[in-house]
Each structure stands twice: as C-alpha cells, then as structure tokens.
Structure 1
Amino acid sequence: MYKYNVSKYQTFYAIGLSYQKADAETRGKFSLSLDQRKALLDQAEAIGLDAITVTSTCNRTEIYAFADDEDTIINLLCQFSHGDPEVFKQVGYIYQNRAAIAHMFRVGCGLDSQILGDFEIISQLKSAFTNSKKRHLINPFLERLINSVIQASRRIKNETEISSGATSVSFASVQYILDNIQDVTNKNILLFGTGKIGRNTCENLVKHTKNAHITLINRTKDKAEEVAGKFNLKVKDFSELQTEIRKADILIVATGAQNPTITEELIFPKKPLLILDLSIPKNVSDQVEAIDGVNLLHLDYLSQITDATLAKRKEHIPQAEGIIDEVKEEFYEWLDTRKFAPTIKALKDKFKLFQEEELDYQSKKIANFDKDQAEIISDRIIHKITRSFASHLRAANGSTEDSIALLKKVFELEQQH
C-alpha cells in the first residue's frame, strides 16, 4: 500500500495491453484516439479519481492511475474504446504499486517496445502527462515518477547504444522496401496519412530511397502540404485516392481512422502493388490481400524485423537496466521522504508544544526569565533533534515503517495528529 498522502486512493495501478499478448485487431479495439482519451480523463475526474494518465499507441494502450480497485480503471478503458472487459482479462495486464512503477520504467525506457530501443513511447508519455496535468489529474507521486522515467530514458539514450540502428516501425517499413523492391528510386510511392508515423516514414523514404516520385494524400490536405513542403513532394486531394493507388507501385497507409479506409473496391492493380499498413487499428481491409498482384504487409510483420542490429542492442540491456535501477532508487528515496515527512512534522509540533508549556512554566517560576532567548535556544535544539530523526528514517531502508510506528507510539503522535 502506498499511504504517502498523495492520493485518497491507496493503490497505484498500471493496466493495459500490448503487442506481447494482443494481436493488431484486438489492440485496435482497445485503442483510444486523442478525443477518446480526453473524454476518458473527464469521466475519471467525474467519478472522483485524482491521478490518472492515459497512453495509446500502435503497440499498446495503457492507463496509470490511483484507484481502490482495478475494475474501475478497466471499465473506463472499455467505456471509451471498443474493448470488452472479458477480452481484457484474457490479453491485458494489471500491475500494482512497485510492479506498476517498474513497468512504467521499462516501457518508457524502450525495454518493453516491440522493437527494442524504440524511444517513441517516451514522447507519448510526456503528451499523456500534459493532457492529465491540464485537468489537474496529476499528483506529486505521478509527476515525480514520470519525470524520473524521462530522466532514465534520456540517460539510456545518451549513455548506451541500445537505440543504435533502426528503432521504429517507420524505419523498418522503409528497410523492407529497400530489401525487397528492385529499382526503388524509380517506383511510384503513395503515402496515405501524415500523422506521426506517416511523417517519420516520409522522412525515411526521402532520406534512404532517393525517390522523387513520392505522393502524399491526407484527409486534411493542408497537413499533407505542410509535410510535403519540407521535402518538395507532391500532394493530391483525398478525392484522388483511387486514381493515385492505380498509379502506385508502393502504397503506405498510416492513417488514424478507426475503420479500414483502403478496401478491395479501391484496388485494380495493373502491375504488382506492395501495400504496407502501418495503422492501428488496421486501415487496409483483409480482403485486399486476395487480389492478384497485391502483397499486403501489416505493422505486426514489419515489427518482427529483428536482425543482427536488434541482437546487438540486446547486449546493452544490462547497462540500461542498471541506469533504471539507479534512477528508480532515487525515486524511492524521494517517496520514503514523503512517507515520513508527516511523522517528522507531527514530532516537531509535539516538541513545540513541550517548548511552549515549559517556557510558560519557567517564566512564572524564575524572576527576570529571558523567554525570548530561551525560545531561540530551544528552537535550535528541536531542529537538531528532528533532523536526526529524519536522517535515521532516511537511512532505515526496510525498517522505516517500524521506526515510524515506534516514534508515533513513544511520542503519542497519532493522538497529537
């Protein structure tokens, strides 16, 4: 239990599902758009939760929160997604307190990513933190924890080589194209969707394929034009999607739609067509795969490109875990300080009460008693005593709870409090 005066709820939870047990279709049902995440936070506030943050990426959807029971959080997730509680129990995970803290560190530091060393998740955590803080749904515990995870992530990125080489699905998709498509420089490439993954894929396409025949389409044309302007690429209207697909040799789909936008009706290939679907949920209908001349690959397949680069990254896991342990220990030290801070304050208040009673008694008993000077001296003594107790509690490690209990009993602090 985390009775650290940071939440009216006693248990810190991490609940979610990821690529490890849930396939793309299932993850799609539990995924949350930005508007859905905001609505979930509003409802969390309405039912009285005081600390919660939500992330949803192509590989995982997670909620970190204080609550009295896990079902409260699972029901929130299912209420605002298309997920079902019974399905969640089969493929999801639930961590509490220390296990939940350890899980956030591993996720935020890229050790739980589908591609080891992928640090894109940390920006998602930062964004989730910002959304929750705007609604005053971040308490000191969660703020300190997220900042500690960000610190560990930054150190791992700077001090190890765990993120060297390909670290994202967007790069893996371009790597697949380079490895499997002949004369890629002269192929017609169509990128549909210019969200984060689409932008990253676009940048990698330009950088690694040297292709000048890349066309962008987005439902909101000005967003596509903004991305295209950086790389001097062509932009077409959404209404021209079918026409551009017929011209394409390679179609990359990276939209945020909740239902498939690329269906068999749009595909009439006169030449081989490679389709890479980088979307969660899937944005290319499964029926497309049956069309002659079409090679459809989904994000899950691309994420399995675990070559020698990934094997090399694994060598740096112990170093990364060492950094996590170091930063996590600092977090627990802070947490322990918060834990005994109320006891130290109660102890100081008790001593001040003794001081007041004794000064009043001596001023009546001793003629010309210098009460002001005595107060200064006794204040210094109280400060030194409480500081000694604080140092002991900070160094008590596993016996902190016992030491706090003893102080409360000896000085009757519970009654005083």
Structure 2
Amino acid sequence: MQHLSTHFYAIGLSYKKADAEIRGHFSLDDSRKEALLSHAKTNGIESLIIISTCNRTELYGFAEHPYQLIHLLCEHTKGTVEEFQEVAYIYKNREAIAHMFKVGSGLDSQILGDFEIISQIKASARRSKSHGLLNSYGERLVNSVIRASKRIKTETELSSGATSVSFASVQYIMNKVENISEKNILLFGTGKIGRNTCENLVKHTKNSHITLINRTKDKALEVAGKFNLIVKDFDELEEEISKTDILIVATGALNPTVHKAILNISRPLLILDLSIPKNVNTNVTDHADVSLVHMDDLAKITDDTLEKRKEFIPAAEQIIAEITDEFVAWLDTLKFVPTIQAIKHKLNDLKNSELNTLRKKNPDFNEDQAELVTSNIIQKITNQFAHHLKEDSNTVDESLELIKKIFQLEESL
C-alpha cells in the first residue's frame, strides 16, 4: 500500500505531441530500464512500471511529486527536463489509472486498436516485480488492464483487420511499387517490428526475393527459417543495398546505421525507416533516386479498416468503465482495511483484559471455550463493519470517522 504522502502518477510522452526525434531522446532499451529501476529502488520509490516503445515512453509509479519520476527518466535517457516539459503529459491518481487503461486497450495507439502494447505492459510489470518495484496497487492495476484488453479483443472488432505499423509499411509499398512480387526487398533488423513486417511482406506481396540482415546473424536465420528467405552477413549490407529496390530498416541502434556514404546505387531505391530513434540519416535523399519514408508518415495512412474500427470505440470504453469501477471499488476497500484491523485489535484488547479478570476470579474458568466464543463474536462484529463500509461507498469517509471516534482509534491508526 502506498504511503499517505505519495500519489500514483503516469508521466510520459507519445507520438501525439513528440516527433520521432524527441521520442528517440527519451527511448529506453533494456539495460537503461534496468538501471532506471535500480536507481528508483535506491531513491525509495516503491512501485514503478516503465513503458518504452517506438511510439511512447512512460513511467507509472508512486511519488510525492511527479518531478521525481521525470528526473529519473531524464537521468537515464538523452532527453532533458526542458524537452520533456514541452511535449509531455502528467496524470495523477484516477487520471493516471484511466490513461493506463486507454494505452493498454489500443485506444491511445498510433494506429487505433493496435494491441502490441499489452505485451510490453506485461513484460514491464514482470521486470518491475523482479526488482521488488510492483506493489499490490500496481499489480492489481496491470492485471485489470490486461483483462480489459482481452475482453475488448474478444467482444469487439476494435482490432479487426491486420493494421499496425508493420502492416501499414507493407500497404504503403504495395500502393507505391508496381510489380512488387518481382522486386528485390532487403529487410535490415529482425526485432519485433522487423519480424512482423517480414511476416506481412511474405503474406501480402507473394515476393520470393526477400533478404534479411541483422547484426546478430542467428536472429535473422531464425526468422528466415520460418519463411524460407535469404540471410546475408552484416558486413554485406552495403553490397546488398546496391542490389535492392526496397530497403526496410527496423533496427534498434541509437544512431543512424544507414547514410549517404554507404549507398552505392544506380537505380531507384525506396527506404522505409521503422526505427526509433531514426536509423536512416536524411542525407540519403541527396541521391536523386532515393525516396525515404518514416514510420510517422506511415501511421497517417488511414484506410477503411481504421474507419470501421472507430465504430467500436464506445463498446471498448464501456468494458474499460466496468473494469475500472471494479478496480476503484477494490481501492476503496484498501481505505478501510487499517480501520477494520484497528477495531479488531481494540476488541481483542478488551477481550484479553476481561478474560484475565475472569481467570483470577474463577479457578474453574474454561479458558479455551471462552477464547473460542469471544474470538467468533469479534470476527462477526468486524465482518459487520466491513460489510457496511463496502456497501455504503458514498459515505465511507464519514463512517470511518465515526468508527474511529466510537472506538477511540486515532492513536492506533
């Protein structure tokens, strides 16, 4: 349970106000996430969840002031507090809860209904837990968001049709390039977006000239094996680019790996950069034959699928409202748990004092029997109070005050 002086915050930035370059400044790879969590632990933060994807970087956690979380983020990324303030959002308590539901359910995704974020949230919660940075509030909230996401997937068509950044990129290629099945396609980078793009390319273009390159060749071989594609070594990148018609870059490098100097081309080349931070230097367009498209441009491609998805927003919001209400009801019960425990403690004190008196007065006193009867009565009394507080959520604060006065509990709490 959080301390009284702390609040639950969501702080971060997303594609809505921050362009790819700024998002790149705040991007966190796995080692930076680990460092940030360790730092948070030493700073006494009790629960913290980190989300960092190509479209957003967010921290969800407890703090006395959101600046504690902003400072942690800036300390472990290239981003500055000034940059953050220009494009960021800060949500507190109920608003922060609502934001996590919106993100986890695909309603805040760059492409409406893109559910890839939910696996990130699960992985982030596991990582936080391994650092001892996931309290009961955080864990319960994440599980509630996962439940909402599953229900939205099964009960609505918010994610109908294959639409994601990887699909949008393939759709773009198919719209722009004639005779796509005969073109040479080179995919550089086989992380999650790379793998998804690869799958969509194979499925939709009927192209058998797809080559994969990845810094770690094993990963590329793994992906290629599934789809029967060609794999080349990383040091053959320049040579392979010279033979290709379409280059898709989906690497996780912190600085651009593709730039004008490595382009030795004599025919038109379409480059799609699906990386955050950007991994293609804009100087490639100094070549008259090069067209460069970034994922932010791709995400603007709206089609009938996305229009159709909008119809299901109200149904998704209804599911979120139901599960949010359950979570908030659980939170309200946390409010009165200390009071119920204090009542129990107080009644046990009265019981022990009474039993002591009886023990002294009556040598034949049946202590076990008295203990059993009085403990049962105490349990029933505290259950009555708990039931009343649960049922009467509108006046729970007044009820708590009255109970504390009657039982003189102020010192105990």
Secondary structure in 1 aligned to 2:202? helix
Q: Which amino acid aligns with 1:276?
A: L
Q: Structure 1 residue 369: deviation in Å?
A: 4.5
Q: Which amino acid aligns with 1:12?
A: F
Cα contact 1:50–1:139 (8 A) shared by 2 = yes
What is the distance in 1 between the residues matched to 2:335 and 2:207? 59
CA RMSD of aligned residues (A): 1.5
Residue 53 (structure 2) pairs with residue 57 (structure 1): yes
Given the alignment, which residue of 394, 405, 408 partners 1:409?
405
Q: How does 1:12-411 map to 2 (within 5 A)?
A: 12-365=8-361, 368-411=364-407
What is the distance in 2 between the residues matched to 1:50 and 1:371? 44
What is the distance in 1 between the residues matched to 2:77 and 2:14? 15
**TM-superposition CA deviations, 1:222-267 (whole Å, max 9, x none):** 1111111111110111111111111111100000011111101122
Q: Structure 1 residue 362: deviation in Å?
A: 3.9
Q: Which amino acid aligns with 1:151?
A: R
Q: Structure 1 residues 101-110 or 171-180, which shifts more?
A: 171-180
What is the distance in 1 between the residues matched to 2:54 and 2:309? 22
Q: Which amino acid aligns with 2:335?
A: K
Cα contact 1:19–1:27 (8 A) shared by 2 = yes
Cα contact 2:6–2:65 (8 A) shared by 1 = no
Q: 1:344 to 1:282 in 2, by over 3 A?
A: same
Cα contact 2:104–2:121 (8 A) shared by 1 = yes
Secondary structure in 1 aligned to 2:247? strand
Q: Structure 1 residue 374: deviation in Å?
A: 3.2
Secondary structure in 2 aligned to 1:414? coil
> How does the TM-score come out when normalised to structure 2?
0.97
Q: Structure 1 residues 400-409 or 292-301, which shifts more?
A: 400-409
What is the distance in 2 between the residues matched to 1:303 and 1:289? 21
Cα contact 2:214–2:234 (8 A) shared by 1 = yes
Q: 1:367 to 1:244 in 2, by over 3 A?
A: closer
Secondary structure in 2 aligned to 1:416? coil
Aligned residue pairs total 413
Q: Structure 1 residue 70: deviation in Å?
A: 1.1
**TM-superposition CA deviations, 1:8-34 (whole Å, max 9, x none):** 751111100000000111111111111
What is the distance in 1 between the residues matched to 2:391 and 2:217? 60
What is the distance in 1 between the residues matched to 2:41 and 2:361? 58
Cα contact 1:257–1:281 (8 A) shared by 2 = yes
**TM-superposition CA deviations, 1:281-320 (whole Å, max 9, x none):** 1111111123212111100011111112111111111111
Q: Structure 1 residue 209: deviation in Å?
A: 0.8
Secondary structure in 2 aligned to 1:415? coil
Cα contact 1:261–1:284 (8 A) shared by 2 = yes
Q: Which amino acid aligns with 2:172?
A: Y
> How does the TM-score come out when normalised to structure 1?
0.96
Q: Which amino acid aligns with 1:50?
A: E
Secondary structure in 1 aligned to 2:133? coil
What is the distance in 2 between the residues matched to 1:255 and 1:43? 27
Q: Which amino acid aligns with 2:372?
A: I
What is the distance in 2 between the residues matched to 1:256 and 1:147? 29
Cα contact 1:256–1:279 (8 A) shared by 2 = yes
Q: Structure 1 residue 269: deviation in Å?
A: 2.9
What is the distance in 2 between the residues matched to 1:221 and 1:371? 75
What is the distance in 2 between the residues matched to 1:60 and 1:416? 44
Aligned-residue sequence identity (percent) comes to 59
Q: Which amino acid aligns with 1:279?
A: S
Q: Structure 1 residues 156-165 or 351-360, which shifts more?
A: 351-360
Q: Structure 1 residue 104: deviation in Å?
A: 0.5
